[in-house]
């Protein structure tokens, strides 16, 4: 199970999805004040001078993002555990790629909605994306590579069944 290349790809997907809950996607630095806000999968929160979370500003509209990020990590983990059922693994990889693309779109839409509401961000602010914001796309590419590796394994098993 762990020695297969698709398992490594899917484990990287799980790690990237877990990082979405810790590392902020975007940071909004207020131009009028010295404060800043960080946007993670769990919501938008203010940071104090030390960079630690001081208070949550918005959680209610980010719950679909939280659920989708957790679901994609769980689907990748389940896909790893089903190593004996390759056809089901292929279907789960396709499902996970669709979920990952949806997660990326949802992330972009939520950030655009936040930039359209300057009063929520404490006036005019400057936004900066972090590198983790493209992790759903990287995860979709890794899931596709895992899908191809699983397909190669299935083709190899079927070719060996013909020889018997």
Residues sharing a CB contact under 8 Å with residue 134, sequence separation 6 or more, in sequence order: 104
C-alpha 164/C-alpha 63 separation (Å) is 52
Q: Place 124 in a pLDDT band, splitting at 50, 70 and 90.
A: low
Q: 85-123, pLDDT tens digit by residue? A: 889 999 999 999 999 999 999 988 888 887 776 666 666
Q: Which helix (H) or strand (E) holds 95?
A: helix 86-115
Q: Quote the pLDDT of residue 125.
A: 63
- Lowest-pLDDT range, 12-21, 62-71, 113-122? 113-122
53, pLDDT greater than 60: no
Local confidence band at 128 (pLDDT 50, 70, 90 cut-offs): confident
CA separation (Å) from 68 to 30, 54, 56, 71, 103? Answer: 29, 25, 20, 5, 6
What residues form DSSP beta bridges with 37? 28, 46
Structural domains of the chain in order of their starting residue, each with its CATH number: 5-158 (1.20.140)
Q: Where are the beta strands (DSSP E) in the chain?
A: 26-30, 36-40, 43-47, 53-58, 125-129
pTM of the model: 0.83
CA distance 121 to 129: 15
């Amino acid at each position: 199970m762990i020695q297969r290349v698709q398992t490594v790809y899917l484990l990287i997907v799980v790690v990237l999805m877990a990082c979405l809950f810790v590392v902020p996607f975007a940071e909004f630095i207020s131009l009028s004040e010295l404060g800043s806000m960080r946007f993670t999968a769990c919501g938008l929160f203010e940071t104090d001078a030390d960079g630690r979370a001081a208070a949550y500003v918005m959680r209610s509209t980010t719950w679909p993002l939280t659920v989708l990020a957790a679901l994609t990590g769980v689907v990748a983990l389940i896909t790893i555990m089903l190593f004996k059922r390759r056809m089901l693994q292929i279907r789960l990889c396709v499902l996970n790629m669709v979920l990952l693309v949806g997660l990326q779109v949802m992330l972009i839409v939520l950030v655009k909605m936040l930039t359209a509401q300057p009063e929520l961000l404490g006036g005019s602010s400057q936004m900066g994306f972090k590198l983790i914001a493209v992790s759903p796309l990287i995860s979709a590419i890794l899931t596709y590579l895992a899908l191809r590796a699983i397909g190669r394994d299935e083709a190899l098993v079927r070719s060996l069944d013909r020889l018997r």
